[in-house]
Structure 1
């Protein structure tokens, strides 16, 4: 195997972090039974944190960022995959403790992969990416809880971000009246184009949360956490549920038990990192069937590997709208 391009985050003896586009060889790859020629990856919020070091996402040094990728198998000791198979990876600590998708070659465990579903081109898969996959897992959790559009509106926090953008699209397509919250009011037209019926400024959910507040929605997808999620819970209708899938606003939850014991509200935790293969395949199968290709294209920008570092810094600063695909190989 010849050398290949990769972005590497490193740390020196004094724990000063640096990041650079460089070249790696086969000897640099980590353990795994499937080797993949990566065609596309994405810039996720977690990748932004890994590149900037704003939070301790990286737990193995040096590290190749990229928590997801799509590509073609070039070697496999796993009987589930053969050379030439097109595969997707989301999560499993890739880009955190295992070299990730911002490299032209990746070696991973076959258990972490699924085959790319029919109907989605490789670039489409990464336009959806872990963000869109997480949004679908959130929708599936709300449905499994028994909630439907007839129960009332659905709120989406951080709506202009990657998870939020796809969540708005999927919920609207499923028939929900979607209330999108964002700290970027200039993105109102963008969000309405994805299907949002109402736009709420983030400031309305940023103050200290009351134990209970006026009921406004029956369901929701929250990628912010902290005070925002506490306010969302306080405003959720009786027997409603919120799918929590992110912590862009913080890991804390300054809430009370009131929504849970006085209204029967449920908080549904969404794990997109280590999901059983059958559930991953179900989520991606639904994405292939339900995603609106036109709206997906409207929310997606594409950059090369050369521009991934700057884009990661921008997403960590909250300056990126929607999804960013990296053309890797």
Structure 2
């Protein structure tokens, strides 16, 4: 199974991608709206489609990216029935299983932080995605969204702590750079609920935390009740079919460029010898070697989109970043460079 843990530094949220290598289907857990381009770029690079976009609960500190996943991949939005959200496709109940390819996750109701919290457990019980129920050496707060200390205690002690000791714990947040724990670790070392802690100890701890409400509470909760569906259409570039790689590079496919050469500035960032060499160059392209681009950037027109090319797409990726830094809004790397262009036998090459 493919597994990736991703981090949003603004809300300290962990998102997770679990994918079936054989069937190329994935589940995305606790996605963040602002990280959608990053997440979809990685999913495409891993050749994964999204079967389910799931949230462990209604988040109060960020807006979910579930709706965007639905639009991008025709994913099914899944969340606990007790979360009472709109726009969800699957209202999950305790013990329900979600299948993606040859893999599956089981949803276990673990309320307490909110009434609609769920923990998702892999089929072999080697991994548990606990949301804000059980955190690393901590536990989710219970002072808003129908939270309840006794309910949270029971969820952790009876359901999560009953998993195998070796089961890895992956929470929705951590604020100290910790990425993973285990059932055994939390049973022994969690200062709120582990070791010899009794329910009275846990209640006393949780009821006297006096934490401020999350800064985005007023924005995030209403948005997440709508499953992250925005009131506006996302700002998608209109000049071309742009995708963004996991490294953050905007890319466009060479076949689209070949069919739209007249409306574009094609910037070749190889050297003169390569430009005139065996691979040739795209007819009408502008040559500025990468090593000279910063000094000659004023020669690049800003009145039309600039697509950048080199032999393989590596140097042109760096050139695209340079252009973006200099204020070019309509720029993209040509995916795979001239090697890809030649492989696709596209028109417009001068050899």
Report the TM-score range of the alignment, normalised by the length of the smaller protein: under 0.3
Question: Taking CA–CA contacts closer than 8 Å with sequence separation of 6 or more, which of the two structures ends up with the larger relative contact order?
Answer: 1
Higher Cα Rg: structure 1 or 2? 2
The structure with more helix, counted as a fraction of residues = 1
Q: What TM-score results when the alignment is normalised by the length of structure 2?
A: 0.26
TM-score by length of 1: 0.28
